[in-house]
Structure 1
Amino acid sequence: MRDFIEKMRKAGLVVDVQEEVSADMEAPKMAAGTDKLVFFHRIGGSRAVMNLTASRTSLSLALGIDETKIVKTLADAQFNGKVIEDGTLPMKKPDLAKIPIMHHYPKDAGKYLTSAIVFSRWDGVENASIHRMQVLDDHRVAARLVEGRHTHVMLKKALAKGEKLPIAVTIGTHPAVTFASCTRVPTGMELPFAAELMGGEMKVKRCSNGVLIPDAEIVLEGFITGDLTEEGPFVDITGTYDPVRMQHIIEFTGMYTKPDFIYHGILPGGDEHKVLMGCPYEPKIYKAVAGVTQVKNVVLTKGGCGYLHAVIQIKKSTQGDGKNAIIAAFAAHTSLKHVVVVDEDIDPMNPHEVEYAIATRVSGDRDIMVITGVRGSSLDPCQLEDGTNVKVGVDATMVLGREADFSRATW
């Protein structure tokens, strides 16, 4: 992570805050005002960064991929990086009070770990994913585990055998590793994918409970238990409060920190949260749409919370391609709510261009698809009590054979 911070600094994308800053809402509020990396040099006796990858420019620097080619390059990923085991880490007694864990918003239930990657291992299978964690005391947290996701599935298998799930949590990893942990990959392929993104290989350490972890500023070793407690409220991707749920408790048994560690916090509902929620889905949508038409680009928009709205750029060859692209996108990312399909001459990253396409190329009776009674995102405040929602697709492409009627004046 430190190498990446210096790369961002050379690119002029770091804001240094030298004065003392509080982890109790002050630092998060400052980070909300910019998409540059904010480096807090004095926070709770330590150092911290926020907005590590809060823009596509910073994500491009992190992955070493041209900003305009990120989606296509990631769609071609092979998940074949080499993971090299390289020793162990010296662990001490855990004490979360030594870390500047942040309280982000007034109605949050308390302090939350937001960038922590949970590495877990069961039956020889490794998994990595980010889970928010509400601090309970100096060695326990309540983790939001989405039902049916891999961590939750592994936990259920462990509990069925009367065991706890061994895990290790890293904070302050290289953002390519964080991105890999947010991506839906083949089972157990998060570490190889991270290694692929890191240039082909990556060294890892083995914790005493058998879990493998990459280089990190902070490592917490422990187990997910069968014990439950209330978790929340907490602000999620839409900027609204997620409800209180009964969630599993993680007990930490060991802790490692670099001598002058740098804590990494992600602002809930902020730009980095949106990048890490949405960008990993863009290659998946790209591949799905490529199966029905020639796709050029896919963007999950910031205004759509980086998760609920997609703009898909295609090159039409038949009149129905736009609608087929919409159907493929909804199938690939079931949390999508609204999809707009545009032509090659429309920049999908420019909301003014996209609105122009809707204004001049859409006939409501022919080009808008409304699908009711389908599963959407549980994060959407509009969802009904049965979990269903309404999806809308907009085909904002030109009518084939009438392109001249839609051509724009240029010099």
Structure 2
Amino acid sequence: MREFIEKMRAAGRLTEVSSPCSTEYEAPKRAAATDDLVLFEDLDGMRGVMNLVATRSALALALDIREESLVSMLAGCRFDGEVAVDGKVTTGHPDLSRIPIMKHYPLDAGRYLTSAIVFSRYGGVQNGSIHRMQMLDKTHLAARLVEGRHTYNLHKAALADGENLPVAITIGTHPAVTFASCTRVPEGKELAYAAELRGGMLPVRECSNGVLVPDAEIVLEGYIGAETAEEGPFVDITGTYDPIRIQPVITITGMQMKRDPIYHGILPGGAEHKMLMGAPYEPKIYTAVSGVTGVKNVVLTSGGCGYLHAVVQIKKRTQGDAKNAIMAAFAAHTSLKHVVVVDEDIDPTSLTEVEYAIATRVRGDEDLMVITGVRGSSLDPCRLADGTNVKVGVDATMVMGREDEFVRARWD
């Protein structure tokens, strides 16, 4: 992570805060005011960073991929990097109060870890994923484990065998590792994907409970047992509050920190949260759409919470391609709510361009696909009680054979 921070400094995209800054509201407010990487020299006595990859250009820089090629390059990944065990993790007495864990908004239930990756291992399979974790006391966290996801399933399997689930939690990893942990990959391939993104090889260390972890500023070792606690309310991707739930408790048994560690916090509902939620789905949508038509780019928009709205840029081959692209996008990312398909001459990263395409190329009676009674995102506050919602696809492409009527005046 430190290497990347210096790359952002060299690129002139780092804001340094040298004066003391509180972990309660003040640091989150500073992060919300900019998309620059913010480096705090005194975050309640420790160094900290926010907005590590809050923009598409920052993510491209972190992965050493040209921004315009980001989605297509990621779509070609094979999750086959080499993971090499290089030593052990030695932990000491845990004390979460030594870490500048933030309280982000006034109605939050408490202080939350937001960037921490939970690595869990059971039955010879290891998973890595980010979970929001509410600090309960110096050695306990309440973790939101989404039902049906890999950590949830491993925990369920461990409990069924009468065992606890071993975990190791990392805070402050290279963005490639964080990105890999946010991506739906083949089972157990998060570290291999991170290795691929880092050039082909990733050194890891083994914790005393057998869990492997990459380089990190802070490592917490522990387990998830049968104990539960109330978790929430907490702000999620839409900027609205997720409800209180009964969730599993993580017991921390060991802790290791680098000398002068840098804590990484992600602002809930902020730019980095949206980037890490949405960008991993763009290659998946790209691949799905490539099966039905020529695809050029996919963008999950910031205004759509980085998760609910997609703009898909295609090269039409037949008149029905845009609608096929809409269906493919919805199938690839089931939380999508609205999809707009545009032509090659429309920049999908520009909302002005996308709105122009809707204004000049859409007929409401022909170019809208409305799908009712389908399951969408559980984070969408307008979902019905049974979890269903309405999805809308917009074909904002030119009618084939009439392209001359849509030629735009240009000087280039």
SS in 2 for 1:100: coil
| Paired residues of 2:342 and 2:397 also in contact (CA < 8 A) | yes
Distance 1:173 1:224 in 2: 22
> Could you tell me how far apart the structure 2 residues matched to 1:168 and 1:25 are?
28
Write the distance in 1 (CA, Å) between the matches of 2:313 and 2:64.
23
1:226 Cα deviation after fit: 1.4
Q: Deviations over 1:246-268 (max 9, x none)?
A: 00000000000001000000000
SS of the counterpart of 1:252?
strand
Aligned to 1:124: 124
In the alignment, what sits opposite 1:368?
A: 368
Correspondence 1:102 to 2:102: yes
Q: Show the 5 A alignment for 1:298-313.
A: 298-313=298-313
3-state SS in 2 of match to 1:331: helix
What CA distance in whole angstroms lies between the structure 1 residues aligned with 2:387 and 2:123? 33
Name the TM-score, length of structure 1 as normaliser: 1.00
Aligned mates of 2:267, 2:283 — CA distance in 1: 24
Q: Aligned residue for 1:69? A: 69
* Structure 1 segment 8-407 matched on structure 2, within 5 A: 8-407=8-407
Give the CA deviation at 1:44.
1.4
| Residues 343 and 396 in structure 2, CA contact (< 8 A), matched pair in contact too | yes
Q: What secondary structure does 1:366 align onto? A: coil
Cα distance, 1:410 vs. partner?
1.5
Distance 1:299 1:320 in 2: 21
TM-score by length of 2: 0.99
SS in structure 2 opposite 1:71? helix
Measure, in 2, the Cα distance between the counterparts of 1:405 and 1:225: 65
Looking at structure 2, the residues matched to 332 and 309 of structure 1 have their Cα atoms a distance apart, in angstroms, of 13
Residue 175 of structure 1, CA deviation: 0.5
* Cα distance in 1 between the residues matched to 2:136 and 2:83: 34
Report SS of the residue matched to 1:179. Answer: helix
Offset, 1:90: 1.7
Distance 1:178 1:226 in 2: 27
5+ residue gaps, structure 2:
none
**Contact 2:90/2:207, CA 8 A, preserved across alignment:** no
Instruction: Provide the C-alpha distance between the structure 2 equivalents of 1:245 and 1:120, rounded to a whole number of angstroms.
Output: 22
DSSP-derived class of the 1:72 partner: helix
Q: How far off its partner does 1:74 sit?
A: 0.4
Shift of 1:127: 0.5
- For residue 12 of structure 1, give the secondary structure of its aligned residue in structure 2: coil
Q: What percentage of residue pairs aligned between the two structures are identical?
A: 70
CA RMSD between the two structures: 0.4
Q: Which amino acid aligns with 2:220?
A: L
Which aligned segments of 4 or more residues in structure 1 are displaced greater than 2 angstroms?
Answer: none
- Counterpart residue identity of residue 13, structure 2: L
Q: Is the 8 A contact 2:296 2:313 kept in 1?
A: yes
CA separation in 1, counterparts of 2:248 and 2:137?
14
Q: Which amino acid aligns with 2:308?
A: L
Is the 2:322–2:395 Cα contact (8 Å) retained in structure 1?
yes
